[in-house]
Amino acid sequence: MYVRKNLRWGVVWRLTRRSLLVFLIYNTLVCLLYGPLNVHVLDIPWQPVALLGTAVAFYIGFKSNGSYDRFWEGRQLWGSIVNTSRVWAIRAFDFVQMPTGTAGLGPVELAETHRRLLYRQVAWCNALRLHLRRQTAELWDTEVAPFLPAAEAAEAKFLSNPPTHLLRRQSVELRELEQRGQITEFRQVAMMQTIQDLLNAQGGCERIKNTPFPRQFAFFSFVFVWVFAAILPLGLVEEFDSRAALGQYHVWLMVPFSVLVSWVFNVIEIVGHTSENPFENDIYDVPMTSICRNIEIDIRELLQETELPPKVEAVHDIMY
C-alpha cells in the first residue's frame, strides 16, 4: 500500500507514460493532418463527443467505486483479523487454566500451552497472507513454520488450504483441553466462536481473491476510454480552428488540451484497475505483511517475550 500523502510524479509517470505518449503522438498527427496538410475531412461536430465523454465519465466512475469497495472490504476483513487475534490471545490466557487437583501439570506446562495456542494464531495469519498471495510454497519455511511444531508445519505446508487446517488444529486442541479439564465447556464454546470469526474473515478474503472484478465492466471501461480518446481530437480540432482571435497557430492548442483530457480519463480508469485485486502484493494492495507483523508483536508481547521483531517499515513509500 502506498503510504505517502502525495504520489511521487515518478510513480505517476510509470503508470501513465505509455498512454500519455500514445495520446501525444496521436493528437499531434491529427493536428498536423488538419492544419498544415489541410485534411478537414477529419473533423466531427463537438456535441456527440461531449455526450460520449459524459457517458464514459459515469461508466469509469462506477468501475472505480466498485474497485475501491473491493479494496476497502479487504482492509476491513484484515482489521477484523487483528481484533479477533487479540480476542483469541486474551481468551487463551484467561480461559485455559490448570485443572484443579491434577498432579504433574505446573506453570511451565500451562505457559507452553498458551504459547502453542498463540503461536499457531500467528502462523495462521501468515499462512492466510501467503495463501492469498499464492506464496505458500516459497515462503512457508520462513514465515509460518517457525511458529508451529515441526510435524504440524510439515503436514500443513502442502495442503490446498493451510489456514483452514491450522484452525482445525486449534479446534482439536480445544477439545483435548476440555477433556483434560483445563477449559470448561462454556469457555470452549466461546473460543470456538472466535475460530468461527476467523473462518468468516478468511472466507471473505478468499471470496475477493477468487472472484475477479466482473470482466465485462473492466474490459468495456478500458475500451470506452480509448474510443473517447480517439475521437476527442477530431471534435476539438475544429473548435480550436474556429477561434481566430487566438492567433495563427491556435489550432495547435488542441494538442495539449486533448492530451490532458484523455490523460485524466485514462488515469481514472487505471486507478480503478489497480484497486480490483487487493491481495496481489502490489503497491496499492492491503499491507498484509505489515498487519501480520503487528499481530505477531502484539501476541508475543502478551507472552512477555522481549526479543521482538521490528515493525515492517515502508520501502520507497510502499508498505507491504
Total structural domains within the chain = 1
DSSP state of 278: T
Whether the model pTM is above 0.75: yes
CA dist., res. 231 & res. 279, Å (int): 36
Question: For residue 4, what pLDDT is reported?
Answer: 77
C-alpha distances out from residue 246 to 53, 221, 254, Å: 25, 35, 12
Residue 79, C-beta contacts closer than 8 angstroms, at least 6 positions apart = none
In terms of Cα–Cα distance, which of 281, 283, 284 is closest to 72? Answer: 284
Question: For residue 249, what pLDDT is reported?
Answer: 65
Tell me the residue range of the domain where 268 lies: 1-320
Question: For residue 246, what pLDDT is reported?
Answer: 52
CA dist., res. 58 & res. 29, Å (int): 29
Question: For residue 266, what pLDDT is reported?
Answer: 92
Phi, psi for 318 (deg, rounded to 5): -120, 125
Question: For residue 123, what pLDDT is reported?
Answer: 97
Residue in this structure with the C-alpha cell 475477479, named with its chain if needed: 212
Tens digit of pLDDT at every position of the chain (320 positions):
777 788 788 888 888 899 999 999 999 998 888 877 777 777 788 888 999 999 999 999 888 888 899 999 999 999 999 999 999 999 999 999 887 655 546 788 889 999 999 999 999 999 999 999 999 999 999 999 999 999 999 999 999 999 999 999 999 999 999 998 899 999 999 999 999 999 999 999 999 999 888 888 888 999 999 999 999 998 888 777 766 545 556 778 889 999 999 999 999 898 888 888 899 888 888 999 999 999 999 999 999 999 999 998 888 888 88
- 268-290 CB burial, b ≥16 within 10 A, e <16: bbbbbbbbbbbbebebbbbbbbb
